[in-house]
Amino acid sequence: MTDARVRAPGRVNLVGDHTDYQDGYCLPVAIDREVTIGWRPRRDGRVVVRSGGLPGAVDLAADGSGDPGDGWGRTVAAVLAVLAARGRPPVGFDADVSSTVPVGAGLSSSAAFEVACALAAAAAAHFDIGGTDLALAMQEAEQRATGVPCGVMDQMASVHGRAGHALLLDCRALTVEPVPLPASVAVAVVHSGLPRRLEHSEYAARRSACEAAAARLGLAALRDATPDLVASDPVARHVVSENARVLAAAEALRRGDGDAFGALMLDSHRSLRDDLRVSTPELDLLVDLAMEHGALGARLTGAGFGGCVVLLAPHDSAAAVARAAAERYHALTGLEPMAFAVRAVDGAGVLQGS
């Protein structure tokens, strides 16, 4: 049915979680799991979106008004409303969505969906939006659709991905520095088999705790705090120590030092577990098992409270390490993990041949 196709990747964050909403640093990778949307214009001003051949469709006005239902239609409505507020002409289109990003895994399936929807909507109306403006608009759409006060990391990673590179994001300056991933290492992911729990309310609670800590210190954000200022506040301490780890990890990547990078991932996991308290026993177990089976480093990735761990391993063994950790985890817990290696890919765009 389609005239054109767009794609937007999910992401895995190598280090730097719960820092983006405090103007901090993070180091995500856009991955070879993505949302693709085939679309073609409609003349009646409606936006009609179907997903993966499933029955039913979301049918909205081009500015997002109408009844979105209570599933992913809310995201479509938010994307259209945010773009309308930025001046997208009210042009309708049909869209057919498919995705290889696991949902609820902490791999930014929703950011990939938002960015892909926005690219289709923009292309249909010949509306020009891209780069960081697109990422900021889709962060607003995510907040509007879910009510979760997320930061901008996920949308920035989906938009700015670079094949073979991690992305050093400065969430205050909104700059992106691609840092090459050394050929000697590879990244893999193991899903714990448990969806993220309590994520929305706990995420908002961590964000408010950080804002309160910054306010007590008279700072705009914890990005500006020094380690001694936050020594007795675990939540703030996580943000400050995590920002330092991101900068050290980017430096380790530049040197091609996988061991140093792996040690920083482990430190990050401990800080997320003990200081910020966003881990779970299952994620802790997976990190331990990844290390026992030969990873250089491993940590929970994304918001926490379930979802995935990310691991770094010598290039030729990453997939095997992830599989071995997953098998042992299944034997110990009876849960159904999912393990796969990921490649760093380019950010969202129009698919060739469209």
The residue whose two tokens read 């590179």 is 165
Annotated active-site residue in 23, 154, 170, 257: 154
Least separation in angstroms between residue 151's CB and ligand GLA is 3
Q: How far apart are CA 261 and CA 10, in angstroms?
A: 22
Query: Counting contacts by CB under 6 A, is residue 245 touching ligand GLA?
Result: no
Q: How far apart are CA 213 and CA 219, in angstroms?
A: 9
The residue whose two tokens read 């991932």 is 265
Q: Tell me, residue by residue from 76 to 105, as one string, x for binding to ligand GLA by CB under 6 A and - for no binding.
A: ------------------------------
Least separation in angstroms between residue 148's CB and ligand GLA is 7
Residue closer to ligand GLA, measured from CB, 182 or 302: 302
Residue closer to ligand GLA, measured from CB, 17 or 233: 17
Size of the site for ligand GLA (CB under 6 A): 10
* Sheet containing 338-342, strands listed edge to edge, beginning at the edge strand earlier in sequence: 297-300, 308-314, 185-191, 338-342
Residue closer to ligand GLA, measured from CB, 88 or 207: 207
Residue closer to ligand GLA, measured from CB, 197 or 255: 197
Rg (C-alpha) for the chain, rounded Å, is 20
Residue closer to ligand GLA, measured from CB, 24 or 64: 24
313 neighbors 182 (Cβ within 8 angstroms) = no
Residue closer to ligand GLA, measured from CB, 66 or 104: 104
Least separation in angstroms between residue 42's CB and ligand GLA is 32
Q: Does residue 154 carry a catalytic annotation?
A: yes
Q: Tell me, residue by residue from 293 to 322, as one string, x for binding to ligand GLA by CB under 6 A and - for no binding.
A: ---------xx-------------------
Least separation in angstroms between residue 143's CB and ligand GLA is 9
Least separation in angstroms between residue 26's CB and ligand GLA is 6
User: For residues 1-60, which are near ligand GLA according to CB under 6 A?
Assistant: 17-18, 20-21
Q: Tell me, residue by residue from 139 to 178, as one string, x for binding to ligand GLA by CB under 6 A and - for no binding.
A: -----------xx-xx------------------------
111 neighbors 1 (Cβ within 8 angstroms) = no
**Pick from 99, 85, 255, 103: which is nearest to 185 by CA?**
255
User: For residues 269-298, which are near ligand GLA according to CB under 6 A?
Assistant: none
Least separation in angstroms between residue 245's CB and ligand GLA is 13
Binding site for ligand GLA (CB under 6 A): 17-18, 20-21, 150-151, 153-154, 302-303
Catalytic residues, by residue number, are 154
